[in-house]
Structures are given as structure tokens and as C-alpha cells.
Structure 1
Amino acid sequence: MQNYVFVIDQNKQPLNLIPPARARELLTKQKAAVFRMYPFTIILKHAVANPLPKPLTIKIDPGSKVTGIAIFDGENVIWVAELEHRGGQIKNALLSRRSLRRSRRNRKTRYRPARFDNRKRKEGWLPPSLMHRVLTVETWVKRLCRYAPITQVVMELVRFDTQKMQNPEIDGVEYQQGELAGYEVREYLLEKWGHNCVYCDKQDVPLQIEHIYPRAKGGSNRVSNLTLSCEKCNSLKGILLIDEFLKKDLTRLERIKRQSKTPLKDAAAVNSTRWKLYNTLKEMLPITTGTGGQTKFNRIRFGLKKQHWIDAVCVGNIEAIKLLTQQPLRIKCTGWGTRKMCSTDEYGFPIRHRDSNQVHFGFRTGNIVKAIVTSGKKVGEYVGRVLCRKTGSFDIATKTGRVTGISHRFCTSIHKKDGYSYVF
């Protein structure tokens, strides 16, 4: 059950997606040619009379690290992918650059007055590590719209509706008392407290929602006062104050108090970018939204496993689901490399200089190539990401490992570098 294949006509206009077997037949009979490897797209060599492509819907489940993407034709799920972000790498690179910059300032220009507060940020500004998530999702929605007749976007607007958890009366009591009751709060607590009992660290046992400060003594139902515990610990604690219950385990007591006041980091990242992503996609296509609790409710209702692409399939209101594919394309953001002409060590001192010429023998580092070696010690066929050198001796990163010392004469480029790596 593989992803369906994108099809475009002679004018590069999108047509209906077709099954892999049909695409293989068109390629064998030379009625079509490969237009792009990722996502796999073919272009027809003959004209299509009165093409009426079926409108498609793209579903998006935004995540802090991985975003699920699915294409839905109204009845079936025909194409799925998982987009892996690199926000953590961007943040670490910025922190490293800041430490080097401040170290240089302390050593060289201590006498200059600080001017850090002179800079002003635009309204709606997001840190680069968060804005990266918005831009990559926007890039792939535009790319898929170029090869498929997509007319609508369904997006999970919020992973956890913290506002409704704090105040159930915001949009009416029916929201909290319907079939979705408890899914938002419980899913948030499971993510925050690591799917285990906070008092005894038991895992793979039924967990109950526990009030840190007991309700009988004035505790609230705010999510910051809730945690998870097993039935035994919940019964032992009863209406005791947490200070009294954990008086012999002060380390655990301090950790629970500290963690209860700290918001879930991944949820904070998603909530920070949700409206920016929503407004960006709204300018491109009509959009509808759903919540994380609704997504989980749909997933459990249809008996599906927990995966990012399946979460994307379950976003929004769904009557029925039929999966025609179960092979998601894993898209990893790798970036375009560094612009630095001089590499430095961990202390900021130069260690090597880069050549300004990035193309060698028609290849560029990051291209996906196919190498068929016919002689020498490394006879075989290799497909993967290439690392180029001006000597003509390349390295290829394949699924099984890295192969070194492959001559450029054996290599054929099958996908140009675009800032992403791909695997199924």
C-alpha cells in the first residue's frame, strides 16, 4: 500500500493522482516520464481531453518536531508524509553564535556602551527556530498544490486547548460535556508528566487524574493543579496535602512543584506558531480547523495507531476513513548548508576555509544520486545523498551506511538538492 503518484499534463497542470501500478504501466509504455522524484511525479507525453481533476483536501497535524501531512479525496487517504523540522538545530546554532559574539565583545570591545535594546521587533515576530516550522509547512503545501488539485486545507489549530481547559465556559458547556469531554486535559497531562505515575514512577498502568492541592481543601480544577497517578497512590494520598504526603521524599516534592508550574515545552512551541501558520495557509486556500482532543478521539474511534501521519488523517470532522496507503514519505529538513567561508572550533578560532565553488563535475553536496560501480573493490549499486569533493572522489550516504571513495564517473543525479532528505 504505497503512496499514490502525482500526475501533471503537458502544460504542467495537476491531474488526478493515480495508483503506483498505473504509473508504472504509463512509464513502461513510454506514455509518461518521471518529472520529479520527491514527491514522485510523472508528466504525460500526450494531451488529455477535458481534464476534470477531483478536488482534494490536504490535512495537516502541526507538531513541534514532526508535522503530519495527508491528502484526502473525500473518501480515501491517497498520500501521506511526515515532515521533520530542525528547529532545535537552529536554536543551538544561534546560541553558539551568540556565545561566540559575546565572548568576542568581552575580549575586544569592553569599553563600548551596550546597544542591545536599540533594536525593535516587528509585530508578530517569532524566533527563527519557530518561524522555521511555519515556513517549511508553507513550502510543502505550495509544492503539493503545484502537483495536485488541492482545494482545501484542514489543520489542527491547537494541540491542547489550554484556554478551554482553564475556563470551560468560553464557548459553552456543551464543548466539555460532549463525547470529547476529558480528551484535551488528559492528553495534555500524559504529555506533560511522561505517561507514568508521578508518585511511584510506575508505567504501563491505568493512570488517574490527581489534584496536587486537594479539592477538599480548596484546590481548583486548573490544569496547573492536575497531575497523573496510579490508583494505589491516588488512594493513599486521598485529601492529604502534597507536602505532607511526600515529606519523606523532598526531592520528588520539589520536582513535582516545579514541573506543575512549567508549561509543556512542545505544546508551547505549537501554540506559539499556530495562528501564524493558520493565517499563512488561509491566504492560500480555504481552511477549516480541529483540535488535538478531536484528533485523538477520531483515532481511537477508528482503531488506528499513534503516528504523526495518522494524526493528520484524523484531523477535523470525519465520518469514515479508508487508507489506500500506509507508506509515509519521511521528509527531513537538512537546510542548505552554511554560508560561512571559515569554519571555527568550539572556541571560535578558525580551523579550515571553504572553497567558494560548490559544484564539482556537475554534482553538488546534498544531491541524491545513483551510482553503478562496475569495477574495483566497491562493485555494486548505491543510491543516496552525495558528498562532493573537487578531487572527484565522492561519498554516498545510503540506507545501510556511508560508502566512501566513489568516482564521479559512476554517478547519475536523480534529485537535485532542495534542503530536504527523503526516506520511506
Structure 2
Amino acid sequence: MNHLALIIEREYLTKVKNKSFIVMTILSPIIMIALIAVVGYLSQINNNKERTISILDESGILKSSFIDTETVKYHILDNMSLEDAKIQVNKNEEYGLLYIGNFQDINKVGEHIKFYSEESPSLTLMSALESKLEKQLTDLKLEFEGVDIEKIKAARVSVNIGQESFIGEKTSKIDSVVKLVFGGLAGYLLFMFIIIYGNMIMRSVIEEKTSRIIEIIISSVKPIHLMLGKIIGTSLAGITQFIIWIILGSVLMTLLSLIFGVDFAQSTSGQQEILNQAMQNPDVNMEIQNAINAFYNLPITNLIIAFILFFIGGYLLYSSFYAAIGAAVDNETDTQQFLLPILMPLILAVYIGIFTVIEDPHGTVSTVFSFIPLTSPVVMLMRIPFGVPIWQQIVSFALLVGTFIFTVWFAAKIYRVGILMYGKKPSYKELLKWIKY
């Protein structure tokens, strides 16, 4: 076991001192933050740009629907023909002209409304204009039919079915969305971590094998210790890199916001006008409050502990497969035939988590796959926010650990033989023979 500690230390220091590792650790967050900053800055410029839209309403009944906002100003045109309006708007370099013809039938009003502009208009802006017109025209039609709009508004009943467990725990529809987001992020993070750092372990084994350094190391170290040392050492290097990314990224975002005044929220504010309209709706405000309550209802402590355990267990399990593949081949090209069977359970787990957990987190499919070790790290992490009994989590983790120990045992057999094999691409049949040795 003393050798194992030395191997872990060697692998960790070799990785973190590698020039490419250092460069990517520093450059990756800088490049990512720079891209986000550019998008945020450009979006901020775009959103701060004031657009002027002229309205030519020949019907005379819809012009009151348009109220200026921070980014859109409406210019009402009166006593002007359509052609003159086009010329004036084009001359003044305004954003566009909304023409509303004189209509007789409200149901066919769409045939009398057109938007003229030099370039294709924003989809968000067009949606906002259509929303304004639809609301006004609906009210006009109801008035024409002799319906009292105020009575309709007063008679409107909003139904929001309350959800509560038998023990009195209150939930809502938005709870499922929040739980799926947390579970999905945890599962996806594990998925990406396995692919990125599993490949790093595999390449490390291939490099040492092709350079013949492994022949010297294997003479004094047991193959299983060498394989575990590579897995754990590379994992620690990956965690170190991940922590540095988070810290460096947070610092860079703070500095950019303070020094250059870049508002990163602007990168997602393309639908600001529609969002502002939605926020005025009491139902939307209620949904936001429900989302906040849903977050506080999450089993945070259980999520953190389970995430750490299943994350480590799942990563170690798949890393042993990657190490065995690296030992069995001489170059990365030959790894393709072995990687697909390893990636398929991961991909299956993600799809099961997305398409079955949200619909029925305690159903047969979700429950069964949360116990199968190759899929449980992802599926169980997606199920836990919905409330999974502790005994199920313990059983699932125990199966995961047991499978990892078994996998390390037979992967070490492949590792022991394959690490000294050169110039031959092994088949699955040969791998089975190596396990029997």
C-alpha cells in the first residue's frame, strides 16, 4: 500500500506539472469568460439600442395599444398614405413601419396588418407586437359582441391544485422542474467528468506503455496498485483543475463586471420586453415564488452527500474500464472498438434520467436502473431530489462499490497482461483469455 501512495503522488504531480495541463487550466476559464463577456457586451449594446417604430393605423382603433418602453419608441402617424409613410420611415432610418389597414372583420384583421423594414425584424419584437395586437383585438371583439369585458375578467377563475404529501409536506408543479434541473445537472456533470478525465487516464497509460517506461515500473509494483494509483492520481489532478477553474472563473467575472461594466445577465435578456409583460402577471409572480419554495424544499444535505459518494463511485468504476482499455491497446485509434460499450450505459442512463425520472421518479424503470451500477450514478442522482428512501440509496451505493471492486479485479488482469503487449490489436476474445490468466 506504500507503493500505492507513491504512485498516486507521482501521477498527481506529473499531471499538475505538465505544461499542457497548466496552460489549459489557466487558459480554459479565461477563454470561456472572454466568450461570455463578448456575448454579454454585444447583447448589452444590442439591448440598449433604442428602436423607433412608426405606426400607421388607418382603422384608428389600435394605436392606443402601443406604449413606449425603454428600448422601443412608437411614433404614431396620422393623415398619411402608406407610400408616404414608407418613404418617411426609410428616410428617418427608423427600425420599421407597422401598417394597420382599415378592416371590417376582426377575424380577418391579419390580412390588413403588415410590418415594413429594411432588414428582417427581431423575432422577439414581432412576438411582442403580435401579443399587444391580439389582446386589444380580443377585447374589441368581445365589446362588439356585447360582452362586458370587466365582468369576464372578474369572473375568470384561476385553478392551481395544491399538492401535499400525507405527512403534510406541501409541493407544487414547479417542484418537479427544480428537482429535475438539480438532478440533471448532477448527472450531466458526472457524465462529462468521466469522459474528460477517463480519457486522460487512458492516454496516460498508452503513453507510458509506448515509451516502455511501464516495463521498469511494473517490475516493482503490482499491476492493481499501478492502475489504482493512476486512477486516483489523475482524479485528484482533475478535481484540482476543476476547483481552479471555478475560483479563477469567479474572479475573472467579478473583475470584468467591476472594471469594464459588463453585465453578464444581458447575454440572456433578449426577451426583456416579453419578460417584463409576464412579470406584471400575478400568476407569473406566483410561479417564481413557488420556484423559490421548491428550492428550499430540496433535500440539500442528502443531495450533497449522495452527489459526493455516487460521483466518486461512478467515476472510479468507469475509470477502471478506461485504464484497462489503455493497457490493452498501443494507440488511441485502437480504443474506439472498446469505448462504445463503455459509453452506451452512460448515454442510456442520461436518457432514462431525462425521459423517465421526471415522469415517474419512483416507477419500475427509474428504480431498477438506479440500482444497476453502470447507470446508478446518473439515475440515482436524478431520483434523489424527488425523495428516495435512504435504504435504497445505501443499497445502490453498496452495489456500486462492490461492482467497482470486481471491475478493478478483472481490469487489473487485463492491465497486467496488456501493459506488456505491443504491436497487436486485441479482440474481445483475447481480453477474456487475459482475464482467465
**TM-score grouping bracket, smaller chain normalisation:** under 0.3
Larger strand proportion, structure 1 or 2?
Answer: 1
Higher relative contact order (CA 8 A, sep 6+): 2
Q: Which structure dedicates a bigger proportion of its chain to helix?
A: 2
TM-score, normalised by the number of residues in structure 1: 0.22
- Asked which structure has the greater CA Rg, the reply is 2
